[in-house]
Amino acid sequence: MKPDVEPLVNDGFAGEATKRTLSYLQTQREKGKNIVGIYCGYAPLEVIRAMGAAPAVLCAFADKTIEAAETVLPANLCPLIKSSYGFIKTDTCPFFAISEAVIAETTCDGKKKMFELISDIKPMHVMDLPQLPDQAEALATWTAMIRKLKGFLEKTFDKKIDDKDVEKEIAATNEKNRLMNKIFDFAALTPTPVSWLELYDLTYLGQASTTQDMLPMLKECVAKLEKRVASGVYHGEENSPRVMVTGCPVGGDATKVFKIIEEAGSVIVALDSCTGMKPYSGTIAENTPDPYAALSRRYLDLPCSCMTPNSRRLAELDRMIERFKPDVVIDVVLHACHAYNVESHKIKEHVAGKHKMPFMKIETDYSPSDAGQIRTRVEALLEMVQK
């Protein structure tokens, strides 16, 4: 990207999604809104917003808090869990500080036990996530869990949640997703006029901000990208290898992988994780007899590796490969995230077998100590693609 190109988000927070989101949430709190902390993409944001509250994605991506966490947690635990707990133990997560309640989901054993350690700090509601999403019982169970969340929020904040407001939030989510996908369409262009950092910022902001608050910014982003295309402005080089990154949630210190991939001469055109494009795929059924069942179906369709069989992830990979036309797929797996690590073999077989594409698995944590090794492997892979 040329240095004089106007950034997509140019209000002083470009490239600093965390600061912008915190500023937004503080403003919402000043307006009298409650703040509800969340950890995972399975938290039904529409129910939170239907109560007039704002969701806050809690801190989980910094290496600096892991040492404190390891005084209680085992060292061979996933860094995301250790970082999350470390932030709370050291009281250094501003999002947790302003949250008045926390929603948690049983996506993995490590997180479940970590939730027990922090459950007495603030009101917490743990949702029992079914992990066989194709079973009819799963839909009924998750619908019941979402209704229980509704009851928890109503009791905690002494506010009623109207089903009509849930319907309005479903429609608002669909509208936001459509606009986000207009922006993702620019990433699919060759050459691409948008960087991974701009995509990351927008997807991060989108979790906290309401559709109403984001609409002007998203429309402005589309206009800026149209201008870049018309002016022949693109990110990287015209023939830069295109990379799709899949796998575990990646944020904060873990974005070292994104930076290394880009510094090696490629462009990242697709972020296939729950900290990227995944929450914005698909739509939620509108005007149904039961909006909670509609939400249940949508969230159960998210292809996290905690689900089994996770065939939806392969279908989503096919769709994204067709849409973004990457030259390489890189699967980022956090240490001790056993579900994604085991599933990586299936992803490799699918990408190499069906799509005949180069594939690489990178196992990492939040420490910078393996950056050199990752760089060497990525550079070797991209050299092969460029030949």
How far apart CA 171 and CA 139 sit, in angstroms, is 21
d(CA 17, CA 126) in angstroms, rounded, equals: 27
Q: What is the largest CA-CA distance in the chain?
A: 63
Nearest to 335 by CA among 72, 132, 83: 83
User: Hey, which residues does 247 pair with through a beta bridge?
Assistant: 332
pLDDT value for 109: 95
Q: Which of 42, 69, 19 is nearest to 336 (CA)?
A: 69
Instruction: Say which residues have a Cβ less than 8 Å from residue 135's Cβ, sequence separation at least 6.
Output: none
Q: List CB contacts of 190: < 8 A, sequence separation 6 or more.
A: 242, 325
- Which of 108, 132, 130, 128 lies closest to 309, judged by CA? 132
- Secondary-structure breakdown of the chain: helix, strand, coil percentages, each rounded to the nearest 5: 55, 10, 35
pLDDT at position 144 is 98
Q: What CATH architecture does domain 17-160 belong to?
A: 3-Layer(aba) Sandwich (3.40)
pLDDT of residue 215: 92
Residue 259 CB burial class (10 angstroms; 0-12, 13-18, ≥19): middle
Closest CA to 221 of 252, 187, 173: 187
What pLDDT shows up at residue 183? 97
Q: What is the pLDDT of residue 15?
A: 57
CA-only gyration radius of the chain, Å: 20
> For the whole prediction, is pTM greater than 0.85?
yes
Q: pLDDT (tens digit, 0 to 9) for every residue of the chain, 387 residues total? A: 655 677 887 654 555 788 889 999 999 999 999 999 999 999 999 999 999 999 999 999 999 999 999 999 999 999 999 999 999 999 999 999 999 999 999 999 999 999 999 999 999 999 999 999 999 999 999 999 999 999 999 999 999 999 999 999 999 999 999 999 999 999 999 999 999 999 999 999 999 999 999 999 999 999 999 999 999 999 999 999 999 999 999 999 999 999 999 999 999 999 999 999 999 998 999 999 999 999 999 999 999 999 999 999 999 999 999 999 999 999 999 999 999 999 999 999 999 999 999 999 999 999 999 999 999 999 999 998 875
Q: How far apart are CA 243 and CA 336, in angstroms?
A: 24
Helices (H), 35-162: 45-50, 66-69, 79-89, 94-98, 109-118, 136-157
Sheet-wide strand order for 35-38: 54-57, 35-38, 101-105, 124-127
- Which residues partner with 101 through β-bridges? 36
**Residue environment code for 320-351, b if the CB has 16+ CB neighbours within 10 A, otherwise e:** bbebbebbbbbbbbbbbbebbbebbeebeebb
